[in-house]
Structure 1
Amino acid sequence: MKRFALILLAIGLLGGCASNDDSPNELVNADVAELYGEAASAMERGDWETATRDLESLQAQYPFGIYATQAQLDIIYVYYRAGDVASTVAAAERFRRINPRHRAVPYSWYMQGLALEEKNEDPVKRLVGVDNTLRDPVPRRQAFDAYATLVEDYPDSEYVDRARERLDILFADGARFQLSVARFYADREAWVAAAGRAITVINEFPDTPSVEPAMDLLALAYRNLGLDELADGVIAEKESLPSRGGDGIPEMPGIYEGEEIEVPPAPSADDAPGRDAPEPPSNVL
């Protein structure tokens, strides 16, 4: 958080200059600098509630200028750290709408992806070993979209490597989700449905650890359906699987489309996992 200390120093210098001139513009600049300084101090000490209040107030009172732009950017990070997923996404979209060519646009896409990816995080269930990736896939699909947009549209951004890592993880998570659904059907001896989901994993999520268990489950489903020849073919194919590469952005799995499941509430501020979230770039200095 050293960056915020530097911003405060710059604000102090600007405020000092403003005191020598009583023109309306200089007085306004001094006021907005003081308000931003209070928000930056709150961010420095991790007081997200105060930082949110000050940044929202700044944007309402002083909607133009470098402080307003920085506040629009900072509040994305503040909402994220407070565990407010919906506000994080809304703030990121608003920043891009107002500043479509700003150098921090890639940052806004990355933070949007992080927030959506953590929509299903539940610290209590994670503590007792519940796999959160087996919950609602909709936020993960939306996070996938955000990261993919960043990688495709801003290939030179400093956030690209992080976004690629998240894409790989989301791709594997999607495979595990579909495999869990296939097993759900198999446990209830709904073999046709189980076979369909297993085929989805094999076809749409190649090169993930879920493919081989999906092939085992598919063979089991075929045998229970009396399709022994097909089951033998699946086993033979599994045994002959070559080693596959996986460079670039995986294509969006079609199974993510149209998943209509109610999204659970976001974690509270105290429970926010705070995954690899970079501080917002500075526009003030």
Structure 2
Amino acid sequence: MYLSAWGSLEAMVKYRQLQPSPSLLMLHSLPVSLKLLTLASLLMLGACAKDTNDWSEEASEAALYESAQSAITAGNYSQAVARLQTLEARFPFGRYAEQAQLEIIFAYYRSRQAEAARSAADRFIRLHPNHPNVDYAYYLRGLASFEEDENFLTRIFPLDPSKRDPGAARASFEDFSRLIERFPASEYAPDAQRRMRYLRNLLAEAELHAARYYIYRGAYIAAANRGKFVVDNFQETIAVPDALAIMVEAYRLLGQDQLADNALDVLNANYPDIGYFDNSGKFIKRDAVDKGEKSWLNLLTFGLFG
């Protein structure tokens, strides 16, 4: 039975009962300190032996699969990956082979191995294009890219998402788009659509960020082109009025008054109350047009340097 990424996985591993070890009988003849040290060593060896037993050549396909499920349930995704890899290597045509290939995508994703998750998803889609749960592989591929930029540094120093490399966001948007195009009735389609709306706004803001940088650096043609790209390709996002304002300012600075007036007319007709016009209807340049960028030295020293 198929298991959802967000559902709980029922643990089915049957743990073997540890038998009394003859080595424990030696403890009675040792000093207390040595008893404690020896006991700790025996417990560590026992734990290692128990873990090794799961990897033994005699372990059945079902035992390996159940062990992987237990690791997923416990949140030990790295161990789950290892168990699923072992299962597929030893039982490539077994009963659990296809399910293991699907679940390892999830395990890679949850262990923050985005590239491995995408590769595993691509492999599953290539090998099993007609699998009843292939939509899940598309969905997980999109999720892996969606969260790829949530790395160690961004968790410690939260950055405006629009200022990050948008490559992963674009890849995620394309993955979710393929999912919806091929499987519009998929149970994952609604969540994919919500994420796509967020990503569309994020990608538009990334273009605005680049446009503002070009304004700041005096590259007005590039700034105008970025603004126009947002207007042409992200019409349903909240970035459009700022993009039009950037076009107005960039064209003014280039001496292209007619192009500036055209952009201004569109801005006034569609967003008259957005805050770019004074009471007399005159265009007001806001911070959204030409925010200066702070250097990394300035950010890391909290404004003391740079």
Q: Same fold (TM over 0.5)?
A: yes
State the distance in 2 between where 1:234 and 1:72 align.
Answer: 52
Say whether 1:150 aligns with 2:155: no
- Unaligned 5+ segments in structure 1 are 13-27, 244-285
- Rg (Cα) greater in structure: 2
AA paired with 1:139?
A: A
State the distance in 1 between where 2:167 and 2:238 align.
Answer: 21
Question: Which residue number in structure 1 is paired with residue 77 of structure 2?
Answer: 48
TM-score relative to the length of structure 2: 0.68
Identity of aligned residues (%): 36
AA paired with 1:237?
A: V
Question: Which residue number in structure 2 is paired with residue 239 of structure 1?
Answer: 268
Q: Which has the higher contact order (CA 8 A, sep 6+)?
A: 1
Residues 242-257 of structure 1 mapped to structure 2, 5 A cutoff:
none
SS at match of 1:240: helix
Counterpart among 160, 163, 166 of residue 131 in structure 1: 160
Residues 85-104 of structure 1 mapped to structure 2, 5 A cutoff:
85-104=114-133
Aligned residue pairs total: 226
> For the structure 1 residues 63 and 29, does the alpha-carbon distance in structure 2 shift closer, same or farther, using more than 3 Å as the test?
farther
Question: Which residue number in structure 2 is paired with residue 281 of structure 1?
Answer: none
How far the C-alpha of 1:100 sits from its partner, in A, is 1.5
TM-score relative to the length of structure 1: 0.73
SS at match of 2:9: helix
SS at match of 2:270: coil
Question: Which residue number in structure 2 is paired with residue 219 of structure 1?
Answer: 248
> For the structure 1 residues 29 and 109, does the alpha-carbon distance in structure 2 shift closer, same or farther, using more than 3 Å as the test?
farther
How far the C-alpha of 1:208 sits from its partner, in A, is 0.8
Q: What CA deviation, in whole Å up to 9, does each residue of 1:122-179 have, x standing for no partner? A: 3543554411332222222221221111101111110111111111111111111111
State the distance in 1 between where 2:78 and 2:152 align.
Answer: 21
- Unaligned 5+ segments in structure 2 are 1-5, 16-56, 273-306
Question: Which residue number in structure 1 is paired with residue 9 of structure 2?
Answer: 4
SS at match of 1:66: coil
Q: What CA deviation, in whole Å up to 9, does each residue of 1:210-245 have, x standing for no partner? A: 1101111111111111223332332221111189xx
Greater shift, 39-48 or 229-238, is seen at 229-238
How far the C-alpha of 1:2 sits from its partner, in A, is 6.9
State the distance in 2 between where 1:208 and 1:2 align.
Answer: 33
State the distance in 2 between where 1:129 and 1:74 align.
Answer: 31
Counterpart among 136, 142, 151 of residue 122 in structure 1: 151
State the distance in 2 between where 1:2 and 1:110 align.
Answer: 15
Residue 134 of structure 1 contacts residue 177 of structure 1 at CA under 8 Å; is this kept in 2? yes
Residue 215 of structure 1 contacts residue 238 of structure 1 at CA under 8 Å; is this kept in 2? yes
Greater shift, 63-72 or 183-192, is seen at 63-72
Residues 1-285 of structure 1 mapped to structure 2, 5 A cutoff:
3-5=8-10, 8=12, 31-241=60-270
State the distance in 1 between where 2:67 and 2:247 align.
Answer: 60
Residue 162 of structure 2 contacts residue 209 of structure 2 at CA under 8 Å; is this kept in 1? no
